Amino acid sequence: MTRINPEGTIGILGGGQLGRMIALAAAKFGYRIHIYCPDTHSPAFHVADQVTVAAYDDEEALMAFAQSVDVVTYEFENIPAATAKIIEAIKPLRPGRKALEISQDRLSEKEFLNKAGATTAPYQAFDTREELEAAFAVIGRPAVAKTRRFGYDGKGQVMVKSKRDFDAVMDITKGGPAILEGFVTFDREISVIVARSVSADVAAFPVAENVHTNHVLDVTTVPANINEMIEAKAKVLATRIANELEYIGVLAVEMFVNDAKGEITVNEIAPRVHNSGHWTIEGAQTSQFEQHIRAICDLPLGPTSARGKVVMKNLLGKDILDFEKYLSDPTAAYHHYGKHDPRDGRKMGHVTWVTED
Ligand code: AMP
């Protein structure tokens, strides 16, 4: 049985805002939700039918969780391989392990992307300082050093302009698996949110343009300020990547665009719903969260056109407290993730504006 009908139960690994918004979309179609997360204060718990608070290596809890649901999905890509294996042996895990394993390691991700016909930044893997020196000789300056695993929002990254930066690199990588990338000159950053269903239907949303501040997504705008050729090329690339991964669910592909050269460089992929797709909740005919549910439950995919010009802004830290301003604006849609502590830089919510022009 590949199809999960409404009233079935969807299990989600991870209880953050992405899990919360997947749960809300699932509820619209009458699904029940079971969230698995080690953190007692998970935002997704507020909107779930059932919760399990347990570690990701708790075999017994994982098995009981898998047995209680019809399908398992996840809201973050650092699911340990052993966890994925335990789940897979009991219930379908969508997206599957291939996408998880490839996207968890920047080296395997780059190798996969190049094999799939995408262009990435030039790269060299390194562990030791000697290997870093050899890699820098090949890549040239400026370069960006990144840990291969567990990097997010610019964490685990250092710019390398000269050998003087090697100490800072080794401080971060600590001799563990790392990658040195050539610095890509680009005019804008874009992302494509694409869905592929159990039945291998594929649908991409309009390309979004993203502005980061302090390495964290700040604003997403749709349509992106790119020409039709780049728009089409970006969607074709994302579709090819989803097909090559035999992917099931919503996938995000982040890219750099060089306007003058008409070139796209793929930065990274995220095997999940994505912050740069939040605009779809009000701004597209189908939201990325609903599309994810449709894809993993083997339902028909929804239409993806934008409903107008859309801007999404993340609300970090105390920005979340400005709700009165957003609620009095008829073009704004305010989202609060239900987190208590508005620490500086923490993703607390977002606002989306949809207008005709
Ligand atoms: P990442 O964690 O790989 O998504 O990188 C975070 C941000 O750093 C990206 O969104 C880019 O703005 C910038 N960045 C990362 N890698 C490169 C690169 N090779 N060349 C230029 N900018 C980069």
Asked whether 183 lines ligand 1 (CB < 6 A), one says yes
Q: Assess whether pLDDT exceeds 90 at residue 335.
A: yes
Q: Whose CA is nearest to atom 5 of ligand 1?
A: 154
Per-residue pLDDT tens digits for 228-238: 999 999 999 99
Beta-bridge partners for 210: 189, 220
Asked whether 122 lines ligand 1 (CB < 6 A), one says no
CB contact at 8 A, 290 and 282: no
Q: Write the single-letter amino acid at 297.
A: C
Q: Give the integer Cα–Cα distance in Å for 274 and 169.
A: 28
Per-residue pLDDT tens digits for 264-291: 999 999 999 999 999 999 999 999 999 9
* Predicted pLDDT of residue 156: 79
Alpha carbon separation from 96 to 17, 170, 218, 290, 341 (Å, rounded):
21, 33, 30, 19, 34
**Residues 6 or more apart in contact with residue 219 via CB below 8 angstroms:** 210, 211, 311, 312, 313, 314
Q: Class of the 9-93 domain?
A: alpha beta
CA 203 to ligand 1 centroid distance, Å = 26
Asked whether 189 lines ligand 1 (CB < 6 A), one says yes
Asked whether 268 lines ligand 1 (CB < 6 A), one says yes
Identical fold for domains 122-182 and 188-355, yes or no, is no
Average pLDDT of span 299-313: 98
- The CATH architecture annotation of domain 188-355 reads 2-Layer Sandwich (3.30)
CA 54 to ligand 1 centroid distance, Å = 33
CA 116 to ligand 1 centroid distance, Å = 20
Element spanning 350, H or E: strand 347-355
Average pLDDT of span 194-221: 97
Would you say domain 122-182 falls under CATH 3.30.1490.20?
A: yes
Three-state SS for 330? coil
CB contact at 8 A, 179 and 124: yes
Q: For all residues of the chain together, what is the average pLDDT?
A: 96
Looking up tokens 């999404």 gives 312
Average pLDDT of span 251-262: 97
Average pLDDT of span 131-144: 97
Per-residue pLDDT tens digits for 142-198: 999 999 998 777 787 999 999 999 999 999 999 999 999 999 999 999 999 999 999
- Establish how many alpha carbons lie within 13 A of residue 150's alpha carbon, considering only the half-sphere containing its beta carbon: 5
Asked whether 109 lines ligand 1 (CB < 6 A), one says no
Domain residue extents for the chain: 9-93, 122-182, 188-355
* Predicted pLDDT of residue 189: 98
Asked whether 212 lines ligand 1 (CB < 6 A), one says yes
* Predicted pLDDT of residue 262: 95
DSSP codes of every residue in 186-231: -SEEEEEEEEE-TT--EEEPPPEEEEEETTEEEEEEES-S--HHHH
* Predicted pLDDT of residue 1: 61
- Establish how many alpha carbons lie within 13 A of residue 75's alpha carbon, considering only the half-sphere containing its beta carbon: 24
CA 95 to ligand 1 centroid distance, Å = 25
CB contact at 8 A, 125 and 148: yes
- What is the spatial order of strands in the sheet that 178-182 belongs to? 123-126, 178-182, 143-147, 157-160
Asked whether 181 lines ligand 1 (CB < 6 A), one says yes
Per-residue pLDDT tens digits for 30-82: 999 999 999 999 999 999 999 999 999 999 999 999 999 999 999 999 999 99
Percent of the chain with pLDDT over 90: 97
Asked whether 70 lines ligand 1 (CB < 6 A), one says no
* Predicted pLDDT of residue 150: 84
DSSP codes of every residue in 110-155: HHHHHHTT-----EEEE-SHHHHHHHHHHH-SSEEEEESSS--TTT
Asked whether 144 lines ligand 1 (CB < 6 A), one says yes
